[in-house]
C-alpha cells in the first residue's frame, strides 16, 4: 500500500511542480517598464480642439424665460417642475449666440449668422414682445408663454445677408439691431416705446406688428431698452430716445411720451457718446473722453450729485472725479461704472455691494478689488465689464470669472443660495464667461468652454 501511494505521488509530482512554477510573482521593474511602454495611448482632444461656446441660464423658470420646458412642464415621470434654478444650467442652442438680453420675464438670444433664423425668444409673450408665435394647437392663435427658444421671424429685405448685431429687452417690448437694415421693434407700444405712433386701444397680444426704424443721422450702433422707453446710439455719437417720459427718461426736455425717436440735447449735444445704459427709469451715457452723463429718475439719489429734483429730463454731466470711465450700467435703483483701471464704482440705493451698512449714497464708492480676486498673487486681475439687472449687479473679470451681488430675487444671482448677497460673490460656471445679461429674476450668460 505504501509503495502504491508513493508511485501515485511520483506521478502527480511533475504536475505539482509545474503548478508551483507557474504561480504569479510580483513583476520586476523591467517587466513593469515594458508593460508601460506597450500600453495603448488614448487621445481625448486633438491639437485643433476648439473651445465651444455655450449658454448658461439661471433664475425663475415658470415664466419660460430660461428656455427649458422641462422645468415648467416635466417630460418624464420622475422630473418635478422646477420653479427656481439657483445655479447655472446649460441651455442647448443650435447656433453660437453672440448677443443675449433679458427683459421682465422673457429673454432674447441672437446670433450673428446669415441663416434665415437669427433671433430666438422665450418667456412671456403677452404683449408680443417675442413677435407672433403661432400656436401649434390652434393655428389662429399665438402662444402667451414660450417655453423654449423659438425663432422670431423678422421682416428683413435681405434675410441671407443681414446680420443681427445686438438685441435688447425692456418691460414689455424688445429691440433688434441689424447691421444694414436699422432697428426692428416689437411688443407693447402704449407709450410709443416701439418708435411708432400710439394707437388707442391697440391689443398687443398675438400681434404681428414688427416696426422698422431707419431714420437716424447715421447707422445705429447700440440699442438699449429701459422699462418703458428705448434709447438708440448712433455711430456719430448721438443718442435718440422714444417712449414714456414721465420721469424724464427720454431726456428730451419734457415729461410727455414720445413715439418717434428724437435726438437728445442738453449736456450731450455735440459729445461723442460711446456707450448708453438703462434698465429702469434712469439712464447713463459714457463719452469717449471718459465722462458720464445721466438723466431720468433720480428718486434714489442716482443723479443727486448734480440736482435735488427727483426727475431730470435733460441729460446732465455728472462730475465724478474717479478717473476715466469706460463703461456704465444702470439698474432700477442703483448704478455702477467701470473705470479704465478696472475698478467698479457704485452709487444709488439698495444693496450696493459694500456690505449691509451701505444702503444709499449719492457719490460713487469704489468696491475693493480684493473682492474680485485681486491679491498679492494675482496682481493683474481687473474687472472687464459691469452689467445691471433691476436690483442686481454683475461684474466680469478679465480672467472670465463672474461676480454677482444684490437682491437675490427668486434665485436670479445664481449663487446656489436664496439669500441676498451684500458683496461680490463668485458664480461657479464651468467655463470662461464672455458676457452676461441680467434681468429682473433671471440671468443669461455666454460662456466659452475650457
Partner 1 sequence: LNAAPRRAPRQHIRFLPTPAPAPALAPGGGGALELVPSRVPVLADHPLVGGPRFRRLKIGVGHQLDMKASGVLVLGIGDGNKLLTDLYNCHLTKVYTVSGLFGKATDDFSDTGKLIEKTTFDHITREKLERIVAVIQGTNHKALLMYSNIDMKTQEAYELAVKGLIRPMEKSPPIITAIRCLQFALPEFQLEIHCLHETQQYLRKIVHEIGLELKSSAVCTQVRRTRDGVFTVDDALPRTQWDLRSVQDAIRNCRLKVRTELEKTL
Residue 191 makes CB contacts below 8 A (sequence gap 6+) with: 198, 228, 229, 243, 244, 257
Q: Which stretch binds partner 1 (CB under 8 A): 8-16, 41-49, 142-150, 217-225?
A: 41-49
Query: Considering only residues 43, 139, 140, 160, which one is a binding residue for partner 1 as defined by CB under 8 A?
Result: 43
Site membership for partner 1, residue 214 (CB under 8 A): no
**How far apart are CB 201 and partner 1 at their closest, in Å?**
48
Is position 44 an interface residue for partner 1 (rule: CB under 8 A)?
A: yes
Q: Per rule CB under 8 A, is residue 362 in the interface with partner 1?
A: no
Which residue lies nearer to partner 1 by CB, 201 or 380?
A: 380
Indicate which single residue of 46, 143, 263, 292 sits in contact with partner 1 (rule: CB under 8 A).
46
Query: Around 164, how many Cα atoms within 13 Å sit in the side-chain half-sphere?
Result: 29
Q: Does 31 bind partner 1 (CB under 8 A)?
A: no
CB 388 within 8 A of CB 331: yes
DSSP 229-279: EEEEEETTS-EEEEE--TTSTT-SSSSS-EEEEEE--GGGTT--EEEEEES
> Quick check: 78 binds partner 1 (CB under 8 A)?
no
Cell digits for 147? 417655453
Among 210, 421, 436, 438, binds partner 1 (CB under 8 A): 421
Q: Compose the 378-397 pattern: x for residues touching partner 1 by CB under 8 A, - for all others.
A: x-------------------
The least CB distance from residue 32 to partner 1, in Å, is 8
38 backbone dihedrals φ, ψ, rounded to 5°:
-85, -10
DSSP letter at 40 equals: P
Given candidates 360, 420, 434, 435, which one binds partner 1 under the rule CB under 8 A? 420
Residue 439: DSSP 8-state: -
Candidates 69, 159, 253, 400; binder of partner 1 (CB under 8 A) is 400
Q: Which is nearer to partner 1, 152 or 412 (CB)?
A: 412
Give the CB-side neighbour count of residue 437, counting CA atoms within 13 A: 29
| C-alpha to C-alpha distance for 19 and 14, rounded to whole angstroms | 8
The number of residues in the chain equals 450
Binds partner 1 (CB under 8 A): choice among 127, 181, 327, 401: 401
If binding means CB under 8 A, how many residues of this protein chain bind partner 1?
A: 36
Q: In what order do the strands lie in the sheet with 402-406?
A: 383-388, 392-397, 402-406, 421-427
Instruction: Out of 176, 425, 433, 446, name the contact with partner 1 by CB under 8 A.
Output: 425
Q: Which is nearer to partner 1, 11 or 39 (CB)?
A: 39
Closer of 360 and 420 to partner 1 (Cβ):
420
- Residue 242: which residues within 8 A CB-CB, separation 6 or more? 192, 193, 195, 229, 230, 250, 258, 259, 260, 261, 262
Residue ranges in contact with partner 1 by CB under 8 A: 35-36, 39-47, 49, 354-357, 368, 370-371, 373, 375, 377-378, 399-401, 419-423, 425-426, 428, 432, 450
Amino acid at each position: 500500500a505504501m509503495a502504491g501511494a508513493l508511485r501515485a505521488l511520483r506521478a502527480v509530482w511533475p504536475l505539482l511542480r509545474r503548478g508551483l512554477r507557474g504561480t504569479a510573482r510580483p513583476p520586476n521593474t523591467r517587466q513593469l517598464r515594458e508593460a508601460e511602454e506597450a500600453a495603448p495611448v488614448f487621445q481625448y482632444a486633438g491639437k485643433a480642439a476648439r473651445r465651444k461656446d455655450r449658454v448658461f441660464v439661471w433664475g425663475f423658470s415658470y415664466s419660460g424665460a430660461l428656455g427649458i420646458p422641462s422645468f415648467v412642464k416635466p417630460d418624464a415621470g420622475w422630473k418635478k417642475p422646477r420653479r427656481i434654478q439657483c445655479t447655472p444650467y446649460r441651455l442647448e442652442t443650435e447656433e453660437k449666440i453672440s448677443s443675449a438680453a433679458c427683459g421682465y420675464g422673457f429673454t432674447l438670444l441672437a446670433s450673428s449668422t446669415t441663416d434665415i433664423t437669427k433671433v430666438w425668444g422665450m418667456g412671456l409673450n403677452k404683449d408680443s414682445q417675442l413677435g407672433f408665435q403661432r400656436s401649434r394647437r390652434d393655428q389662429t392663435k399665438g402662444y402667451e408663454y414660450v417655453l423654449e427658444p423659438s425663432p422670431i421671424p423678422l421682416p428683413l429685405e435681405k434675410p441671407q445677408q443681414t446680420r443681427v448685431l445686438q438685441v435688447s429687452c425692456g418691460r414689455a417690448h424688445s429691440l433688434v439691431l441689424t447691421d444694414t437694415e436699422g432697428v426692428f421693434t416689437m411688443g407693447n407700444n402704449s407709450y410709443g416705446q416701439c418708435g411708432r405712433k400710439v394707437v388707442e386701444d391697440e391689443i398687443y397680444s398675438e400681434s404681428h406688428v414688427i416696426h422698422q426704424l431707419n431714420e437716424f443721422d447715421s447707422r445705429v450702433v447700440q440699442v438699449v431698452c429701459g422699462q418703458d422707453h428705448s434709447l438708440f446710439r448712433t455711430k456719430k455719437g448721438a443718442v435718440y430716445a422714444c417712449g414714456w417720459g414721465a420721469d424724464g427718461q427720454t431726456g428730451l426736455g419734457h415729461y410727455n411720451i414720445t413715439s418717434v425717436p428724437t435726438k437728445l440735447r442738453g449736456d450731450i449735444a455735440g459729445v461723442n457718446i460711446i456707450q448708453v445704459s438703462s434698465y429702469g427709469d434712469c439712464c447713463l451715457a459714457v463719452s469717449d473722453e471718459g465722462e458720464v452723463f445721466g438723466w431720468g429718475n433720480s428718486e434714489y439719489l442716482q443723479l443727486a450729485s448734480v440736482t435735488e429734483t427727483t426727475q431730470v429730463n435733460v441729460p446732465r454731466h455728472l462730475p465724478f472725479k474717479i478717473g476715466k470711465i469706460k463703461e456704465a450700467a444702470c439698474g432700477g435703483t442703483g448704478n455702477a461704472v467701470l473705470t479704465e483701471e478696472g475698478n467698479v464704482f457704485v452709487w444709488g440705493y439698495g444693496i450696493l455691494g459694500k456690505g449691509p451698512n451701505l444702503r444709499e449714497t449719492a457719490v460713487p464708492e469704489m468696491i475693493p478689488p480684493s473682492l474680485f480676486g485681486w491679491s498679492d498673487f494675482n496682481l493683474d486681475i481687473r474687472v472687464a465689464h459691469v452689467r445691471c439687472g433691476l436690483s442686481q449687479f454683475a461684474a466680469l473679470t478679465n480672467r472670465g470669472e463672474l461676480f454677482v451681488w444684490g437682491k437675490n430675487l427668486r434665485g436670479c444671482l445664481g449663487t446656489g443660495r436664496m439669500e441676498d448677497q451684500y458683496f461680490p460673490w463668485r458664480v461657479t460656471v464651468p467655463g470662461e464667461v464672455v458676457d452676461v445679461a441680467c434681468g429682473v429674476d433671471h440671468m443669461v450668460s455666454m460662456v466659452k468652454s475650457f
